Chains A and B, each alone.
Chain A
Amino acid sequence: MRSRLSKNSLALAVALPPLVILGLFFVVPLCYLLFVSFMTNSATSLFDLQPTFMNYAEIFSDPFYWLIIRRTLLSTAVVLILCLLLGYPVAFYAARLSPRGRLIMLMVMMVPLMVSNVVRAYGWVAILGRRGVVSSTLTGAGIIERPMQFLYSFEAVTLGLLTILLPFMIVSLTNSLATIDKRYTEAAYSLGAGPWRTFFRVTLPLSSPGIASGLMLVTFLTLSAYVTIALLGGPRYKLLVSLVFDSVTTFRWPRAAALSFILLLIALIIAVVIQLVIRPQRVQGKG
């Protein structure tokens, strides 16, 4: 008992400085943000010290905001599903490679992430724009009559997010799949389950920690992505994060704070749903 206690207190001592920093620079500002979101907008200062629910009330009573919230949820959901469906086979393959081969493969997939988001988004602009590669190729081939704008659409934003976020999903899934003891697969075979049933009844559930963490990572990155959404969505296809930025640029800080909190709430709800559906905790702990 004594050694357990002292071990815990040692762990606490080591964890304390980062916890203090986290508290000072994250929790305190967040509380302040929440406080601001209940204040009145002001033309001259950050806010007027008059408590109000108006910021939230206005957002929830405005159909435009609802449209943006729905759109945000939809694009997040589509990005999540595509990341999972496209990422799983890649991760499944990577997990079967030798540790060295796996490392090389994951490194190669990470290379695009080393390029700035801005550069990457402009790359998509050059491909999807009215005078971009896709449009001029299709025009040249006579498939479409006039140059077409592929930018500023749901598809453009989704594609842009997908290409950034897919590697995160793959890395998360690969790490999870690679740590599954192959004896579980052999145990399933010994019990008469063929490769498909073994996959759906054993491998897939056992990879649930990787699925859950990958989905959460992608969710948070999707909801907080800005450059991609601003450049590929443009003025025509905005998401919640764009509205936060718009409110800031028009100096409505309390409104921006309220929108940030709605965004945070959405992230939390999605995270809880992921945990409840995937239930990663059922395979954690000793086998």
Chain B
Amino acid sequence: MNTEASNTPVADVKFIQVEKRFDTTTALHSLDLEIEHGTLFALLGPSGCGKTTTLRLIAGFEQPTSGQVYIRGKDVTGIPAYKRSFGMVFQNFALFPHLTVAENVAFGLKMRGVAKSDIQTKVAAALDLVELGRFGERYPRQLSGGQQQRVALARAVVFEPDVLLLDEPLSALDKMLREQMQVEIRHLQQRLKMTTVFVTHDQEEALTMSDRVAVMKDGRIQQAGTPRDIYDRPKTEFVATFLGASNILEASVRGNDDAGTVIDLAGNTLTVGRLAATQGSKVRFALRPEKISIGMAGGIKATVREAIYRGAQTFLYLDLNGTPINAVVQNAGVNQATLEPGAAIALHWDCANMVELEPQV
């Protein structure tokens, strides 16, 4: 397996056709997954989508019903959690309350038979890394939530595991602390270059922190890619609406010309990039509200149904010949008077921002 590693980059975590069933329900449907070395990979989805099951399969807390799990090119299917090499930060941190901070961090080193003198230096280094050098003798209950979080991180990385797993690590923290910890975890991960898999239901968190995101639903990965990819080029309606707001617009195909495919959207003729769809068929597009700009003339005619002033932006709920459409505009030079309900305005957008969605199953 070492020779294999030197030829082609071997993914740090790899799932081959992994299926997981619990009694009658299927949590994962033959999942294929590859997580490259050094990336921060987010598993994003609503509860029950299988993201936590995926994480627990990497850990070995669950074993797949069928398929194989590889960590660093080694088949770990069937190997119990305590014989794998991963660090994990749990939702409630799960710091051992009967041990001090230093003893908590030392636990993994002790279990792996590291020499006593090495344990001391490593624990001190790990605590310094999370800026808790002076807190070694305290007990977890004497620390704040953010400090406990950092101890949990130090405990999970101190023995240099192959993979770091984070199970909704920020959900127990308040909003301010959460945003601060997002940045801290990101910095720590980049410094250690540790392959990290991270479970969250918070799309903003996934976009902010990760190199790659896999959006999951009903035990399947809907789409995987960089945050920008997924946000800008969603493949399905679910991805488009789960990550941020999106207009889902249905248009019918008129035919192709030299510039691309001509479509009819609520009575407006638009030309988008060439589509495979045949003439007369219906195609659905995602269009982000912030990609739409407004003017008085030209463009596509719409009526204002409601305008909500939000300080920096105005949220516009519009009507496009009976089709509802939302836009978000920056309040740089907008004349509020024109945005009264019932006012007619013109919409502009670059048709390249209209992303064709896969037909719904």
**Chain A residues engaging chain B, CB cutoff 8 angstroms:** 181, 183-184, 186-195, 197-198, 201-202, 205-206, 208, 282-287
Contact partner of B59 (CB less than 8 A), chosen from A181, A186, A205, A285, is: A186
CB pair A197 B96 closer than 8 Å: no
CB pair B98 A205 closer than 8 Å: yes
Closest to B80 in A: A189
CB pair B96 A190 closer than 8 Å: no
B91 beta carbon closer than 8 Å to chain A: yes
Complex A-B: 26 CB contacts under 8 Å:
A183-B94, A186-B61, A186-B88, A186-B90, A187-B88, A189-B59, A189-B82, A190-B156, A190-B165, A191-B87, A191-B107, A192-B111, A192-B159, A197-B111, A201-B107, A205-B96, A206-B98, A208-B98, A282-B98, A282-B139, A283-B98, A284-B97, A285-B97, A287-B92, A287-B94, A287-B141
CA distance in complex: A284, B140 (Å): 11
CA distance in complex: A192, B106 (Å): 12
Please give the distance in Å from B179's CB to the nearest CB on chain A. Answer: 23
* Chain B stretch 70-100: residues in CB contact (< 8 A) with chain A: 80-83, 86-88, 90-98
Please give the distance in Å from B184's CB to the nearest CB on chain A. Answer: 21
CB pair B97 A282 closer than 8 Å: yes
Question: Which residues of chain B have C-beta atoms less than 8 A from A186's C-beta?
Answer: 59, 61, 81, 88, 90, 94
Question: Which residues of chain A have C-beta atoms less than 8 A from B81's C-beta?
Answer: 186, 189-190
Q: A187-B88, A192-B108, A197-B111 are known contacts; what are 5 more A-B pairs with Cβ within 8 Å?
A: A189-B60, A191-B155, A282-B98, A285-B141, A286-B97
Please give the distance in Å from A192's CB to the nearest CB on chain B. Answer: 4
Number of chain B residues close to chain A: CB under 8 A? 30
Question: Which residues of chain B have C-beta atoms less than 8 A from A201's C-beta?
Answer: 107
Question: Which residues of chain B have C-beta atoms less than 8 A from A184's C-beta?
Answer: 94, 96
Residue interface mask B274-289, A partner, CB < 8 A = 1: 0000000000000000
Closest to A208 in B: B98
CB pair B159 A183 closer than 8 Å: no
Contact partner of A287 (CB less than 8 A), chosen from B59, B60, B93, B107, is: B93
CA distance in complex: A208, B96 (Å): 13
Most buried by B among A190, A197, A284, A287: A190
B112 beta carbon closer than 8 Å to chain A: yes
CB pair A183 B107 closer than 8 Å: no
Contact partner of A193 (CB less than 8 A), chosen from B59, B98, B111, is: B111
Please give the distance in Å from A138's CB to the nearest CB on chain B. Answer: 48
Most buried by A among B61, B92, B94, B155: B94
CA distance in complex: A59, B278 (Å): 106
Please give the distance in Å from B89's CB to the nearest CB on chain A. Answer: 9
Most buried by B among A191, A192, A283: A191
Please give the distance in Å from B123's CB to the nearest CB on chain A. Answer: 13
Please give the distance in Å from B112's CB to the nearest CB on chain A. Answer: 5
Closest to A286 in B: B141
Please give the distance in Å from B159's CB to the nearest CB on chain A. Answer: 7
CA distance in complex: A285, B95 (Å): 12
**Chain B residues engaging chain A, CB cutoff 8 angstroms:** 59-61, 80-83, 86-88, 90-98, 107-108, 111-112, 139-141, 155-156, 159, 165
Please give the distance in Å from B84's CB to the nearest CB on chain A. Answer: 8
Q: A189-B82, A190-B156, A191-B107 are in contact. Are A183 and B95 (CB under 8 A)?
A: no
Question: Which residues of chain A have C-beta atoms less than 8 A from B165's C-beta?
Answer: 190
CB pair A193 B94 closer than 8 Å: no
CA distance in complex: A183, B108 (Å): 15
Closest to A206 in B: B98
CB pair A192 B112 closer than 8 Å: yes
Question: Which residues of chain B have C-beta atoms less than 8 A from A195's C-beta?
Answer: 82
CB pair B141 A193 closer than 8 Å: no
Question: Which residues of chain A have C-beta atoms less than 8 A from B96's C-beta?
Answer: 184, 187-188, 202, 205-206
CA distance in complex: A189, B111 (Å): 10
Contact partner of B92 (CB less than 8 A), chosen from A181, A191, A193, A202, is: A181
CB pair B88 A190 closer than 8 Å: yes
Please give the distance in Å from A209's CB to the nearest CB on chain B. Answer: 11
CA distance in complex: A187, B90 (Å): 8
Closest to B60 in A: A189
CB pair B91 A183 closer than 8 Å: yes
Question: Which residues of chain B have C-beta atoms less than 8 A from A282's C-beta?
Answer: 97-98, 139
CB pair B111 A191 closer than 8 Å: yes
Question: Which residues of chain B have C-beta atoms less than 8 A from A202's C-beta?
Answer: 96
Q: A181-B92, A202-B96 are in contact. Are A193 and B107 (CB under 8 A)?
A: yes
Please give the distance in Å from B16's CB to the nearest CB on chain A. Answer: 23
Closest to B107 in A: A191
Closest to B81 in A: A189
Please give the distance in Å from B305's CB to the nearest CB on chain A. Answer: 45
Closest to B155 in A: A191
CA distance in complex: A30, B88 (Å): 55
Please give the distance in Å from A176's CB to the nearest CB on chain B. Answer: 13
Question: Which residues of chain B have C-beta atoms less than 8 A from A193's C-beta?
Answer: 82, 107, 111
Question: Which residues of chain A have C-beta atoms less than 8 A from B83's C-beta?
Answer: 192
Question: Which residues of chain B have C-beta atoms less than 8 A from A197's C-beta?
Answer: 111
Question: Which residues of chain B have C-beta atoms less than 8 A from A205's C-beta?
Answer: 96, 98
Question: Which residues of chain A have C-beta atoms less than 8 A from B86's C-beta?
Answer: 190
CA distance in complex: A205, B98 (Å): 7
Closest to B95 in A: A287
